Every structure is written in C-alpha cells, then in structure tokens.
Amino acid sequence: MSNLNLFELSCGAQSYDWGKLGQSSAVARYAAASNPDFSVNEDQPYAELWMGTHPSVPSKNIASGETLRDLVTTHPELLGPAVSGAFGAGELPFLFKVLSIRKALSIQAHPDKALGAQLHAADPKNYPDDNHKPEMAIAVTAFEGFCGFRPLEQISALLESVPEFKEIIGDAEAKAFETAVAGQEHAAEGSPEDKANRKALQALFSKLMNASADRVEDTARRLVERAASQSETFAAGFAYFDELAEDNGVRRGTDLAHLITRLNTQFPNDIGLFCGGLLLNYVRLYPGEAMFLRAKDPHAYISGDIIECMAASDNVVRAGFTPKFKDVDNLVSMLTYSYNPVLEQKMKPLPFPRAHATNGSAEFILYDPPIAEFAVLEGKLEPTATAAVEGLAGPSILITTEGAGKISTQGTEITLHAGSVIFIAPGTPVDIEASERLVTYRAFVEVSPETKL
C-alpha cells in the first residue's frame, strides 16, 4: 500500500447535458489524466469531476484501488479526531469539484441547516439529506453566472424599461414595488427600511414565480423577439456600472438583450429569462477570481470552467432553466432577498503564511468562506520554483489545473500534471516543485475551538 500521508486519486466524471463536449471539457481531460481506462467521447458532455468521499462517484487510491471513503473509515487518522468529532466519521465534510459549463445550470438556492433538516423530514425524495450546501466557485477559465438579486434601483429601472417584465409582474404589483423601495434603495442592513425593501422584493418575486405556464411562455416569447430585433434600444438604454467587468465597467441594454437571446436558445421561453436575466446580478469572473454562494441566495452558472467546493449535501431548490422539480412555495419563503451589488459577491483573497517559496517565484492565496466545512488554497509556481507548505490540521485534496512538477513528503514523491488529484493527510508537510508553470487548488478543513457548526 502507498504511503497514506500522500497518495494520488483517480476521480470520476459526471455527464450532464450542460457539460462541455469531449476534449473541450476540462473535466474530461482531467479524468483521463488520472485514469488510463477513461475514454473521452467527443460527442458526450462532461460536466463535473468529483473529488472526495461521496458514494455516488467515489474517488479511489490509484495505488491500492480502495475508495477514499473506505480508507477514511478504516484509517480514521486520515480525517483526524477534530474533524471526525465535528462532522462525523467516515466522510469528508466537503465535496471538491471541477465543473465545465457549456449551457446554463438551473437557477437555484440552497437551504441553511435548519431548513435543510425540515425539508428532508417533509420530502426526502426531493431533499435527500438534512445538511446545508454552501458553495464556493473559483474561475479556471473566464466564467459567467448569476448571483443574488440585483440592486433595487436596477430592478426598478428594468420594470420601467422592459414592458414584458412589467406585464408579467402586473402594473399594480410593479407600482407597489417601486413605491415601496423609492428613496431607500441603499438602506442599512437590518434596518426597518431594509426589511421593508426585502418584503417588497419577495412580493415581486412571488408574483413572477407564480405566473401561469402559458403566461410565462407567451410573455417570454415576446421578450425574446424584441431583444433580438431591437437590441440597440433594448431596456431603453439601461446601463449600470459593473466593478467586475474587464472592460470599462459599463453593462448596457444591448448586453442584456444578447444575454437573453443566448439563454433562450438553451431554454426557450423559460421563466429563467425573467428571474435570472432581469432580477439577478450578472457576474463575470476571470481565472483565479472567486465568489461565495451563501445559503438562501439564488444563483446559477452560465458558462466557463470552475473549481467548486461545497459542503457534503445534495439539497437544491430550483427556480428556472430546468425541467426538474421546482418548489416555488419553499423557494419564495426561504430566500434572504439580499440585494447587494455584484462586487459584494466576489471573495477577497487572503495571505497564507503557512505556504511559501523556498526557491524562485511562488504565490499562495487563501479563499476562506464564512463556514466551517472548507477553505481553498490556490498555489502558483513559476518554472523551476519550489515551495514548502506546512502540515494542515485536517485532511485536504489538491488538484493541478495547469503545468507540471512534483509533490513530496517523508520519502514519498508524486509527479504532478494537469488533472493530478492528491490526498494529503492531516499534519503532513509537503514540498512542491514546478518543472513548468504550475497552478494548484487545495481544498481542506481545519477545526479550531472557534469553529461554529
């Protein structure tokens, strides 16, 4: 058996319709890199690479063939007593993924722990566990998605400039929303004005989500026709400043028109054109940038390759861009109705002093979301650089997304290449060496006395 402090994993791929096709999918390339029996079909979508202990797609120790789930069960030291005590034995508290996105995923939100337990007890078929599912996404390639409701002044402007939007909401309901939020769009969080804003946004969203299927299809069809034929004047010149834009930061009605027509080719006349395209923040991330998806906030991925880390759960409440079960009542009642600008969805990278270059140029940054189950460490080493990373107090999984090199500890050395996935046991220091520019992402969990579950 290989050294259980450091060993290479073979990880399985999930094929969903929204995944990128064949070799264009990072998921397919990475899966093939660690499994010589994995054959890439150029006509098949490869959507997700799963790295962890989830029984649906178990990661395996390449040397022994044992599943990681079996290994952490028979060798509890691979989790460590603190992690097992906090989250339970026999399973990592996080699931680490690569996603390759060709078409939009469903607009969705995830319950917090309390609601997750309630939904599971009431409807175990659609809510298969009782856990929450916070998620973090880090862009590997250029990425776009939806995250959280737009600022209120943008929603009011779109109600006035997109006739189909006001029509599906209704004149009276649209007027009620605009009157309720006027002059207090930037109310302090938790203030009476903020609570009134959220109540008004909830009423607007409820009206949209409860529109009849025939009304949605008819109104969406006319929305798309006008977006296609009048893109230059769509939304009456609607524009807003987007701090995440790589260009001059201005998003215009033409951008929105093109987005709506593009999404309509994937999900014709879908309610997601309204609840995603008009109500939610449009987000662009560039390689290495990250966002955290809070519980009870609506979001969707549109395109790109990302690293994703989440709590080990499969609870999803869907809103649009999906043929799957939509739980409108629970969705409307559960959301936070936060309306922060898109910049606030972006995570701030933090320094990580426990990892440093020992030769040449190497940079490590930490993405540490406000939850206990995981954090992700990004490492970038220039050619011939070496780096040392101290042992972490909990288990971790590292994936190489670019380049080549090697990782070593205590007499064990493993070659790294794009798609290499490595398990690192608690307390294991590692040395990393780059033979060409090397980019890695490492998900890990550490439990401290301050950890709040």
Residue count of the chain? 453
- Helix 192-209 to helix 152-161 angle (10° resolution) is 40
The answer to whether residues 49 and 40 touch, using CB atoms and an 8 Å cutoff, is: no
Residue 64 CB-half CA count within 13 A = 13
Element containing residue 114 per DSSP (H, E)? helix 113-122
Using a 10 angstrom Cβ sphere, with 0-12 exposed, 13-18 middle and 19 or more buried, the burial of residue 40 is middle
Q: Which of 55, 67, 46 is nearest to 129 (CA)?
A: 55
Residue ranges of the binding site for Zn(2+): 108, 110, 135, 299
- The phi, psi pair for 392, rounded to 5°, reads -95, 155
**Chain-centre distance of CA 164, in angstroms?**
30
Catalytic member of 318, 354, 437, 442: 318
Q: Residues annotated as binding site?
A: 108, 110, 135, 299
Does 29 participate in catalysis according to the annotation? no
Q: Which two tokens stand for residue 307?
A: 């690293």
Annotate 132-198 with DSSP letters as a single string: ---EEEEESS-EEEEEEEPPHHHHHHHHHH-HHHHHHH-HHHHHHHHHHHTT-TTPPTTSHHHHHHH
Which residue numbers are catalytic?
318
